[in-house]
A and B are shown apart, each in its own frame.
Chain A
Amino acid sequence: MSIDILMPALSPTMEEGALAKWHVKKGDTVKSGDVIAEIETDKATMEVEAVDEGVVEEILVPEGTEGVKVNSPIARLSGGDAAAPAPPAAAPPAPAKAELSQAPKAAPSPEPPPPAAAQSSPPAAAGPAPQPVASGQRVFASPLARRIAEQKGLDLSALKGSGPHGRIIKADVDAAQPGARAPAPAQPGAAPAAAPRQAQSLEQMGIPPGSYDLIPLDGMRKTVARRMTDSFRDVPHFPLTIDLEIDRLLEARARINAALEKQGVKVSVNDLIIKAAAVALKQAPEANASYSPEGIAMHHHADIAMAVAVPGGLITPIIRQAELKGLAQIAAESKDLAERARTRKLKPEEFQGGTFSISNLGMFGIRSFASIINEPQGAILSVGAGEKRPVVRGDQLAIASVMSVTLTCDHRVVDGATGARWLQAFKVLIEDPVTMIV
């Protein structure tokens, strides 16, 4: 009896991926747990382990194939136990770990929000959660009606139910006109149209075909395009810029590195910035927050996502609970994460779900810039180059190493004064690094 090995879903929302590499060939014997292949999605490369034992009868999808649909057969094993009852096309053999599903909004799918991605309502709470209406009355609606209303942006309390006891059912929501509450955006078909609109208009905009090479959109590019477009359009954002003197930080770094030299650890300025940002988030916790329709999520820990440029795009691996970690540990983790990010070896849980992001373009000499919010995080810090600049001390002109940073805030959770308070805390920590150990 043969068993089909199916393309695994590395995350609940994954729809297709590339078969990067086979670790087995036809005729090889595999046993449960053996790594048989590497699968690449837009953001990660993951190893696929065999679930069943047997001999590889056929490789159905050659390595290097892109766009392999989840659950399509990629290889066939001849099973060891002919007596076993035929399993109905075995479930995805691979690490479809439950926790992956908790990653909010990291759906690599270019499609409209898939339901499992916990787009806006946490699955556990998606039961008969009462929906408050103006008068504080409960709205009775079927789970499916709630889901569709949310997707269409309909206000359930404005609908009349035709189900038992006036319950709102799917048919009522289907019949309702979208936008009954939310005013339609001025430009039609905003979200899904973003990518196709550009592709369509190149020629119309006077760029003749043939005058350029077209690089197909890979998964990462699609995800970046979609998430950045969504964020820039939907999140009311504003930048706050401040200058920081970093001479003492550079001095502290030199001393720390001298002390850690024997351990082989080297702390970068960026590691110090991560640490300072995490401590500042503890001191000004209202900046460590996420907007959701249910309320403002105040995060318990500072999970700092750091933007890493990789060939073909960028990715934001996360230093979890950075406020609790020492510099040596942060340095080791950030080095490891950055390296694995560049080789696309990160696991989904390593780049999904941070609470605050840092993007650093200082090494390119950029003085100051404002990043786009990494949803659902409430803020992102853009770090410019540290450089010697003239500063005024008292009435004297002096020279100091200065670095400009810009905090882009989601105004739904972080107001101007809130952002400013965080920057103040951050400034103190950077300018006088000793305070970080307090």
Chain B
Amino acid sequence: MATDFDVIIIGAGPGGYVTAIRAAQLGLKTAIVERETLGGVCLNWGCIPTKALLKSGEVFEQLGHLSDYGISVEKPTYDFAKVIERSRKVAAQLASGVAFLMKKHKIEVIEGTAKLEKGAPAPKVVVSLKAGGSRAVQAKHVILATGARARTIPAAGLEPDGDRIWTYREAMVPKACPKSLVVVGSGAIGIEFASFYRALGAEVTVVEALPRIVPVEDEEVSTAARKAFEKRGLKFYVGANVKALAKTKSGVSVQLEAGGKTETLEAEAAIVAVGIAGNVENLGLEALGVKVDRSHVVIDEHCATGVAGLYAIGDVAGPPWLAHKASHEGVHCVEHIAGLKPTGLNAPIPGCTYANPQIASVGLTEAQAKEKGLDVKVGRFPFRVNGKAIAAGETGGFVKTVFDGATGALVGAHMIGAEVTEMIQGFALAITMEATEAELQATVYPHPTMSEAMHEAALDAFGKVLHI
């Protein structure tokens, strides 16, 4: 049967559009379907615009501490509308960049909403076009990259109401900065918004159901993060379940249950950040017999779904819900389709939270390494004794390394502090290359840099730390 394309990718987020570029580079005739905006949530409603907001918040918050650096400033103010406007401009710039990349690689962009039907050699893609009408296209391979959205729990009122109860999406473009805010969920998304709004002066309370904040991180990082955030005036409830979230005349009220007691919080607005649900609906997956487990498509080691010619990558294929995981899987998937033998998908995926302070980690936490039965060796080094950190006035936080004592393999690394998100790739590279403590210790780190703390943490795990 004749086909229109070699590969059709559904969804133009960081997973989909990167996959499309790689497919085109490999000489495959490629199309990409997008129902909204090129770049997906990451560029338009996620990673990128929040970084723009956080930068505004950070700069503003820093103004309050300028006297630490010998600088004085008249009472600073901000224009909230302009802060939001800047973040939208940043998103728009990058989205147009994706459009350029698609054009450059001769990738056909089909604007509309896709649905799959039975077809051969891969499911047929029927797109109801944005411009009206529909178009059916047949390809040899179809890659689902439809992403995910905020999980909502309507029974507890944990869903956006279009006014005062927000998901990440509404939280990115409010008309004014709320005076008080409750954030439900202390994962990366919840914590970043909490950090941003606190920087602009809001009274922010974070509610977490698990016993500690940023629960996917190493326990020591959670503890340090909580202390640092509390110092900035954030309030936390942990081990607390939201029973009801409702709109009131002046804002919202949040009913909590923690440790057998109930409590009610009042605020001007609330953000729901209680997790992610994969976009698996209305794609025709049931009819094709695609396996879906708790809102995520089940895939094999090459991202195949088990249905001939159909693959899935990124958020829709399960956690961790991170842009770089999506593009990593996409490139692997399409290289596999093209008959190359790409390196397996077992590289550790670093995770970053861009709050103040930043958090970054890769690999196993200390607890996970112990659960695996490893003879764990842990190294730590605080930034408070790092020269560059002291000079920059950024002495909060630390670097922690986790090694397998039996082999010397680095199995995890955890950091909290200024700019740690820019440093974690060093440890990711080390784990991916299967480095041992010997390589990490023998590597020369430039002085003075915050990264010296990474070296020291690798030394410390083996009792060789120098500056403590």
A interface residues (Cβ-Cβ under 8 A, vs B): 9, 11-12, 14, 51, 71, 84-93, 96, 98, 100-101, 111-112, 114-116, 121, 123-124, 126-127, 142-145, 147-148, 151, 163-164, 169-170
Contacts and interface: CB of A to CB of B under 8 A. Distances in A.
B220 A98 contact: no
Counting from the closest, the 10 A-B pairs by CB-CB distance are A115-B408, A142-B434, A144-B434, A126-B438, A96-B463, A9-B463, A116-B462, A12-B463, A88-B398, A123-B438
Given A123-B441, A170-B409, A85 B380 contact: no
Interface stretch (B32-40, B139-147, B318-326, B399-407): B399-407
Contacts of A88: 220, 223-224, 380, 382, 398, 400
Contacts of A101: 462-464
Given A85-B227, A88-B382, A143 B463 contact: no
A54 B380 CA distance: 22
Nearest to A146: B436
B433 A143 contact: yes
Nearest to A151: B407
B128 interface: no
Interface in B428-443: 433-439, 441-442
B55 interface: no
Interface string B150-194: 000000000000000000000000000000000000000000000
Contacts of A14: 463
Given A91-B381, A143-B433, A127 B409 contact: no
B228 interface: yes
A147 B464 contact: no
A222 B386 CA distance: 40
B464 A12 contact: yes
SS of A interface (majority): loop
B106 interface: no
A9 B343 CA distance: 40
Given A84-B384, A112-B406, A91 B436 contact: no
B131 interface: no
A91 B434 contact: no
Nearest to B457: A91
A148 B435 CA distance: 12
Given A85-B396, A86-B227, A96-B464, A144 B405 contact: no
A115 B464 contact: no
A391 B224 CA distance: 80
Contacts of A163: 343
30 contacts: A9-B463, A71-B378, A85-B228, A86-B224, A87-B398, A88-B220, A88-B224, A88-B380, A89-B220, A89-B380, A90-B382, A90-B468, A91-B468, A96-B464, A98-B464, A112-B406, A115-B408, A115-B436, A115-B437, A116-B408, A116-B462, A124-B442, A126-B438, A143-B434, A143-B438, A144-B407, A147-B408, A147-B409, A169-B434, A170-B409
Interface in B191-206: none
Contacts of B378: 71
Contact of B407 (A115, A121, A124, A164): A115
A278 to B, nearest CB: 31
Contacts of A11: 463
Interface in B380-438: 380-382, 384, 395-398, 400, 405-409, 433-438
Contacts of A148: 407
B283 interface: no
A85 B384 contact: yes
A143 B405 CA distance: 15
A123 B400 CA distance: 21
A121 B462 CA distance: 16
A206 B159 CA distance: 76
A91 B406 contact: no
A115 B410 CA distance: 12
Interface residues of B, number: 39
B452 interface: no
Contacts of A100: 463
A33 B464 CA distance: 19
B460 A91 contact: yes
Contacts of B379: 91
A147 B409 CA distance: 9
A90 B467 CA distance: 12
B465 interface: yes
B360 to A, nearest CB: 15
Contacts of B439: 126-127, 143
A62 B227 CA distance: 31
Contacts of B398: 87-88
A114 B405 contact: yes
A17 to B, nearest CB: 13
A112 B396 CA distance: 38
Interface centre among B408, B437, B466 (most CB of A within 10 A): B408
Given A88-B224, A116-B437, 8 more contacts: A51-B468, A85-B395, A91-B460, A115-B462, A123-B441, A143-B436, A145-B434, A151-B406
Contacts of A121: 438
Nearest to B460: A91
Nearest to B408: A115
Contacts of B463: 9, 11-12, 14, 92, 96, 100-101, 116
A142 B400 CA distance: 23
A144 B411 CA distance: 11
A327 to B, nearest CB: 37
Contacts of A98: 464, 466
A92 B466 CA distance: 11
Contacts of B227: 85-86
Interface in B442-467: 442, 460, 462-466
A145 B460 CA distance: 23
Interface-centre pick from B378, B395, B407 (highest chain A CB count, 10 A): B407
Contacts of B465: 91-92, 96
Given A84-B384, A123-B441, A144 B395 contact: no
A98 B224 CA distance: 29
B22 to A, nearest CB: 17
A127 B442 contact: yes
A144 B406 contact: no
B82 to A, nearest CB: 33
Contacts of B405: 114-115
Given A114-B405, A148-B407, A163-B343, A127 B462 contact: no
Contacts of B406: 112, 115, 151
